Amino acid sequence: MAAGGGARSTLNTPHSTLHTITTHIPMTQALLKGKYQYRRRLPHHQRDDRAVFVTFCCGCLDPLPEAVRDIVLRHCLHDDVAKAAIHAVVVMPDHVHLLLTPLRDLDGNPHSLVEILQGIKSASAHSLNRVLGRSGPVWQEESFDHVLRGEESFEEKLEYIRQNPVRRGLVTRPEDYPWLWVAA
């Protein structure tokens, strides 16, 4: 990054002369937080006012100790009605599923999925590390997300989240799993 917030690039010409070009591109908040999509290894798309099904996995703690799953659930619900309408969350031993709809900020722009997930993953990792007396990453860098297309898809994903602990053999009924939360 060049002084003043511009981008700097270096080019090699056929004559092996080195040139440095500085472009003056203002780094706005929307550019920095990846307002609608961002890309690491997987594409991540966000559509205004559409629910998103998200999965993120443990990177180092597998399985997540039961004692810290409450912390993860609390962090997932922290921004409910502030940055996202949280419809459902399940904290499994090795991953988390969320069903959420990003809300709009004071300027009318939707909060980015990047911003929401970074907040959840960062805050929960700090809390888990503090409680467990360890340091380092807790979550894999990437998350998997899918923009839902309709009411049928919403209900299917909601039921998928509810049944996840049952399918894994952790409980016989979804309501018996302590780290499952579904909006009323």
Q: Give the contacts of 49 (CB within 8 A, at least 6 positions apart).
A: 101, 110
Q: Which two tokens stand for residue 51?
A: 């629910």
- Tell me the per-residue pLDDT of 13-67, one tens digit each, with 9 for 90 and over: 344 333 333 333 333 344 434 443 444 554 445 556 789 999 999 987 678 999 8
3-state secondary structure of 134: coil
Contacts of residue 28, Cβ cutoff 8 Å, sequence gap at least 6: none
- pTM, two decimal places: 0.74
Q: Where are the domains of the chain?
A: 1-33, 34-182
Per-residue pLDDT at 13 = 39
pLDDT tens digits along 92-137: 999 999 999 999 999 998 898 888 999 999 999 999 999 999 998 9
DSSP 3-state assignment of 48? coil
Q: Collapsing DSSP states into helix, strand and coil, what is residue 167? A: helix
DSSP 61-127: -SSPPHHHHHHHHHHHHTTBTTTEEEEEEEE-SSEEEEEEEE-B-TTSPBPPHHHHHHHHHHHHHHH
Which pLDDT does position 33 carry in this prediction? 44
CA dist., res. 181 & res. 184, Å (int): 9
**For the domain 34-182, what is the CATH code?**
3.30.70.1290
